[in-house]
Amino acid sequence: MKKTLWFYVLVALQAAFLIVMSVGFYAMDEWGETINLKTEPVDPRDPFYGDYVVLNYQVESFPSSKWEGKDDVERGDKVYLLLENEEDGVSSLIKASDHPLDPDANQIVVESRMEWRDQYNDNYRVDLGLDRYYVEENTGREWEQAEDRIVTIVLAPWGQKKIQSVR
Amino acid sequence: MNHSQIAKESKKWVEEEIITDSQRHQLLERYPKRGQKPLLLTFAAIFIGLGFLTFIASNWSRMDDLVRMGIIIGFLIAFYVAGERIYTKYSNTLGVSFILIALLIFGSGIFLIGQMYHYTSYSAFPFFIWAIAACGLYVLWKEWTFFISAIGIITVGQIYSGFVYQQLHFLMALLFLVVLGVVVYRSKEASLTLMFGISYLIQSLILVLSEDLNYYWLMVFFLTLYLADDLVVKKGEVRVFKTLSVIAVFTLHVFGVFLLGQEWITNASESSFLFFLLWAVLFVGAVIRAALSSTNYYWADLILFVPVFKFPIGDAISLGVLFLYSLIWLIFGYRTEVSRWVNKGTATFLFTTFLAYFQLAWDFMNRSVFFFTGGILLFLLSFFLERKRRQVHKGGRAE
């Protein structure tokens, strides 16, 4: 009897885990903070791969002057980006580091992962993990026209983030 | 009593003229065949399940996210509940397979929902959660199926983690060592120990490769497995961990023969203090273990666990280690007339000879001459070794 009880506890936990994964997505709209980020023109050779747009955020690459972390940062390491909201409503990068940064008012910290350090051009590239935006099928043409866009991103207090809209 | 039992017994009764043949049939009709029902039911369930699956698969992209969620959760719970009911009431195997399907739904559900909601994961965390569920099922039901599932999920998850994220998932490794390790320690079941050992070796390889550790760290992991053997061995059974670790370390030396002489392996020469410390502690442990052993030859394996670094003659030293190892087993085998040891010594000696020959002669010998000479060399060697071995098998003295 006790075993059956524990079994159903285990089953409930599994269902709950899946549900929480889903609820987090909807709850972000309620408790998350939104920021706007500019994307660079997408790679013209292959802007579409399947039915999603590839997004290159401007804040994802920056010169080494904005880097405040250790030199031997490795691919996949956590990188904190300090963003500031500018007058046109778009956020831009103030500095980046591999240790946590303190935001002032009007500033926000976003987590990303180190991609690579380009020593030749002296800049860094990180990955926000939001490089794909799924669009409805057969709407590719419309998306191809626009060159750079403003993407609205929601950041949840628990570290989750998602794309809200692409303009 | 069931149908088949009655059928078997009543045949004898007819032969002994206790009942007539028609009475036998009457009796048999009173006990309908029970076995067929679950079988038919199983097929029915599989067909309905397949119908649902194909329907869902073809309409998946058109469904709303919440509908998809409902389907995943619904199937998950339905299969778990059905599995539990069937297990306790009808058949253990069928129940286990239902619960196994539910476990698979849970795993694929994590990935499907992750995809639906654009989750980006930076580690093998989904596999970790999935493995916890599998371990939990094993702890509750004590069915080997779930243990094997847990090992499978963890191993695949670690390989995935190594390839995609260039790291070993440490929490998953901890889960593996603590939960599954305790199971292996308690059960002392050779086949489970074997699976655990192989997964351990794969994970240590991933750790060394992904963390850019020097290759000789493998020696520490292999030696740990070697020493852990005493914990999981059942009296009179095969020493699984010991055999696995010896095979692994032997293979490592074989790679050493080929690679340690190469110029491009540069970072392998730097040595670390921590490695020496750990290795020394384990090695001393192994020596003490060998001294306590009832058979005096236990320490022969230890030769293989001497690490070889990248010296100018590192490859030759690796080769020397392999030769020494096989010769010791050969000599021990002949002296004690234990044919198992003679076989082990013969096989490794032949292999090492071939390796040495390949390493030394490949570069400057004509290819056909290389193979001819090698073949003749191996033939002669195996002839003498085989003759010796037979003497041992016959129980004659090998002088």
Instruction: Give A22's contacts in chain B (Cβ within 8 Å).
Output: 65-66, 69, 113, 116-117
Q: Output DSSP code: residue B31.
A: S
Pick from A108-122, B55-69, B217-231: least confident: B55-69
pTM for the model stands at 0.76
**Distance (Å, rounded) from C-alpha B280 to C-alpha B8?**
66
pLDDT at site B157: 93
Tell whether the model's pLDDT for residue B255 goes beyond 50.
yes
Backbone angles phi, psi at A93, to 5 degrees: -80, 130
Provide the pLDDT confidence category of residue A159 given band limits of 50, 70 and 90.
confident
Q: How many CA atoms lie within 13 A of B308 on its CB side?
A: 26
Q: Is B120 on the interface with A (CB under 8 A)?
A: yes
Of A85, A107, A83, A84, the C-alpha closest to A97 is: A83
Encode pLDDT of B99-136 as tens digits: 998 998 898 888 888 877 777 777 888 899 999 999 99
Of A20, A13, A27, the C-alpha closest to B113 is: A20
3-state secondary structure A93-123: EEEEECCCCCCCCCEEEEEEEEEEEECCCCE
Structure tokens at B71: 């389907």
pLDDT at site B398: 42
Q: Residue A165: which residues within 8 A CB-CB, separation 6 or more? A: A151, A152
Judge: A10–B137 Cβ closer than 8 Å, yes or no.
yes
**Distance (Å, rounded) from C-alpha B173 to C-alpha B154?**
8
Strand order in the sheet with A78-85: A61-63, A123-127, A107-118, A78-85, A91-97
Instruction: Report the b/e string of A35-67 with b at 16+ CB within 10 A.
Output: bbbbbeebeeeeeeeeeebebebebbbbeeebb
Structure tokens at A55: 């997004």
For B284, other C-beta atoms within 10 Å of its C-beta total: 10
pLDDT at site B170: 92
Shortest Cα–Cα distance, B335 to chain A (Å):
56
Instruction: Give B131's contacts in chain A (Cβ within 8 Å).
Output: none
Judge: A162–B165 Cβ closer than 8 Å, yes or no.
no
Shortest Cα–Cα distance, A38 to chain B (Å):
20
Average pLDDT across chain A, whole number: 79
For B178, other C-beta atoms within 10 Å of its C-beta total: 11
pLDDT at site B265: 56
**What average pLDDT does this structure show over B172-176?**
94
Q: Which amino acid is at B202?
A: I
Transcribe B74-96 into DSSP letters.
HHHHHHHHHHHHHHHHT-HHHHH
Q: Output DSSP code: residue B179.
A: I
Q: Is A76 on the interface with B (CB under 8 A)?
A: yes
Judge: B140–A132 Cβ closer than 8 Å, yes or no.
no
Q: Which amino acid is at A150?
A: I
**What average pLDDT does this structure show over A45-74?**
74
Q: Which chain B residue's Cα is nearest to A15? A: B73
Instruction: Give B104's contacts in chain A (Cβ within 8 Å).
Output: none
Q: Which amino acid is at A85?
A: N
Provide the pLDDT confidence category of residue B268 given band limits of 50, 70 and 90.
very low
Tell whether the model's pLDDT for residue B318 goes beyond 80.
yes
Shortest Cα–Cα distance, A15 to chain B (Å):
6
Give percent above pLDDT 90 in chain A.
Answer: 5
Structure tokens at A46: 């292959």
Q: Is A95 on the interface with B (CB under 8 A)?
A: no
**Distance (Å, rounded) from C-alpha B221 to C-alpha B226?**
9
Q: Where are the beta strands (DSSP E) in chain A?
A: 33-40, 48-49, 52-54, 56-57, 61-63, 78-85, 91-97, 107-118, 123-127, 132-134, 150-155, 161-166
Give percent above pLDDT 70 in chain B.
Answer: 89
**What average pLDDT does this structure show over B46-53?**
77
Instruction: Please report the sign of the dihedral spanned by the C-alpha atoms of residue B168, residue B169, residue B171, residue B175.
Output: negative
Q: Residue B152: which residues within 8 A CB-CB, separation 6 or more? A: none
Give percent above pLDDT 90 in chain B.
Answer: 19
Backbone angles phi, psi at A52, to 5 degrees: -135, 155
Provide the pLDDT confidence category of residue A1 given band limits of 50, 70 and 90.
low
**What average pLDDT does this structure show over B169-191?**
91
Judge: B119–A21 Cβ closer than 8 Å, yes or no.
yes
Provide the pLDDT confidence category of residue A46 given band limits of 50, 70 and 90.
very low
CA angle B365, B366, B369 (to 5 degrees): 95
Judge: A17–B129 Cβ closer than 8 Å, yes or no.
yes
Residue B243 near residue B228 (C-beta atoms within 8 A): no
**Distance (Å, rounded) from C-alpha B204 to C-alpha B202?**
6
Instruction: Give B140's contacts in chain A (Cβ within 8 Å).
Output: 3, 6-7, 10
Judge: A11–B77 Cβ closer than 8 Å, yes or no.
yes
Transcribe B108-129 into DSSP letters.
HHHHHHHHHTT---SSSHHHHH
Distances in Å between the Cα of B225 and the Cα atoms of B90, B208, B286, B336 are 41, 15, 11, 27
Encode pLDDT of B11-29 as tens digits: 888 888 888 888 888 888 7
Judge: B110–A21 Cβ closer than 8 Å, yes or no.
yes
Q: Which chain A residue's Cα is nearest to B130? A: A14
Distances in Å between the Cα of B195 and the Cα atoms of B129, B148, B154, B181, B191 are 21, 8, 12, 11, 6
Tell whether the model's pLDDT for residue B81 goes beyond 60.
yes
CA angle B356, B360, B366 (to 5 degrees): 120
